[in-house]
Amino acid sequence: MNLPHDIIPSNVNESLIPRNVDAKNRYNGHPFSSMDISSHLSIIPFPQYNANFLLNNDTKLKMYKNKVFGIPIDITDLREKSKHFNNTIGINDNGRRNITYQMVAKNDAPEKVKYIYQPAIPETAFTLQLLRRNMKATCGMYLEKCKRVIIFDLDDTLIPTNWIRSFLLTRCAVSYKQGIKELKKEIQLNKKCNFESVACSVIHLAMSLSHTVFIVTNARSDKWIETVRWLFPRFSKLLLYCQIPIIRTEQKMEPSPFYANEYFRFWMCAKKKKFDDILKQHCTLYRPYISQKIDFISLGDTDFEEVATYELQLANTGLINRAFNVKVQAGLSLEDFTGQLKLIQVAMSIIAKGSYAYKHLALSGSVQIKMFS
């Protein structure tokens, strides 16, 4: 078998110049007289290949600006009349079957030359090339997701808790069970904001940015978490599918709210401890794939998450490159809360860019980004 580089002349026009002919008569002959149009051709049946072509005797190919180059042969696609025609062309079969082409010299009968061509590149080469390309892309995405840890708060960050409480207090004060049913109906019938779909989009984006996505809440009631799962079944199923747990902070005797500093430190440290546990587990699990320090991202509606993120970064400078806190606003209506979720997606996309360098960025009056490094 001749390799491609064995048949390419050193001069690109050498094959068009007759040998052993004096200069005077060199160009008297037809420049294509030495070409064998019936020579074997290798045609690769790519699935994207558009085979609906027909070049007749009058076909001209325009080359450069004012020059016209004529083709002295017919190339006719007669595969529909061939019993060897690959009817699956256009499907991703990588040329598994043979294709029949008829190439006819000018003024020759169509039956003169007939070839059944084999694919020039074996199927295994296509499969291996596709596999390597997918592995390279997948590997790059996998390593990129190892560089981040994302932790959400639950109440008034992913779930409009204040709006839910307000709805139950104002409309359904008689029966809690009946109020929850009417609340779920209200959420499902509200097509204006489509809250649950937007909440699922936030989770999908987070999973595309990091392997480690958690929800950490200071909520003390198991009943409330079960209520959230019942109110938002699609959202809950997505969390289950993505294996994103809702983690509650440790339950201890909290100080009185009258002691503001102790009260704040108690809840902030409860968050920080869970943040630290998740960070250490992530770095231990993905240590072989982490070549540098990672980014830590927290999202919440209180100062607990912000201060916890700041102190976590100070205590783990060897692990954390940049720490981000996306602070959102509580007490919004369902429509405004849904809009805030969309801004959360914008904030995460901005943070994911390595070129981000702002210490503070306000996307709106309700969504702000703070960076600690």
User: 54-74 pLDDT, tens per residue?
Assistant: 444 444 444 444 444 444 444
Question: Which residues does residue 60 pair with via DSSP β-bridges, in sequence order?
Answer: 70
DSSP 118: P
Helix (H) or strand (E) holding 325: strand 320-327
Alpha-carbon distance of 252 to 249, in angstroms, equals 9
Per-residue pLDDT at 365 exceeds 70: yes
The C-alpha torsion from 120 through 122 and 125 to 130, rounded to 10°, is 90
Helix (H) or strand (E) holding 202: helix 195-209
Q: In this predicted structure, what is the pLDDT of residue 289?
A: 87
CA-to-CA separations, 35 to 17, 197, 258, 328, 335, in angstroms, rounded: 11, 64, 97, 74, 73
Contact between residue 326 and residue 358 where contact means Cβ atoms under 8 Å apart: no
Alpha-carbon distance of 132 to 138, in angstroms, equals 10
Q: In this predicted structure, what is the pLDDT of residue 307?
A: 96
Q: In this predicted structure, what is the pLDDT of residue 211?
A: 92
Distant-in-sequence, close-in-space partners of 78: CB < 8 Å, separation ≥ 6:
100, 101, 102, 110
Alpha-carbon distance of 360 to 373, in angstroms, equals 12
Proportion of the chain above pLDDT 90, given as a percent? 44
Q: In this predicted structure, what is the pLDDT of residue 42?
A: 37
Sign of the C-alpha dihedral computed for residues 154, 160, 162 and 168 taken in this order:
negative
Token reading at 48? 């994207």
Q: Which amino acid is at 171?
A: R
Read off the pLDDT of each residue in 172-194 and give the average, rounded to a whole number: 81
Q: Which of 150, 2, 117 has the alpha carbon at shortest distance from 49? A: 117
Distant-in-sequence, close-in-space partners of 269: CB < 8 Å, separation ≥ 6:
308
Tell me the pLDDT tens digit for each residue of 222-248. Answer: 888 888 999 999 999 999 999 999 999
Distant-in-sequence, close-in-space partners of 345: CB < 8 Å, separation ≥ 6:
201, 202, 205
Q: How many residues does the chain have?
A: 373
Q: Which of 35, 2, 40 has the alpha carbon at shortest distance from 16? A: 35
Band (92; pLDDT cuts 50, 70, 90): very low
Contact between residue 215 and residue 244 where contact means Cβ atoms under 8 Å apart: yes
Domain boundaries, the chain: 1-121, 134-372
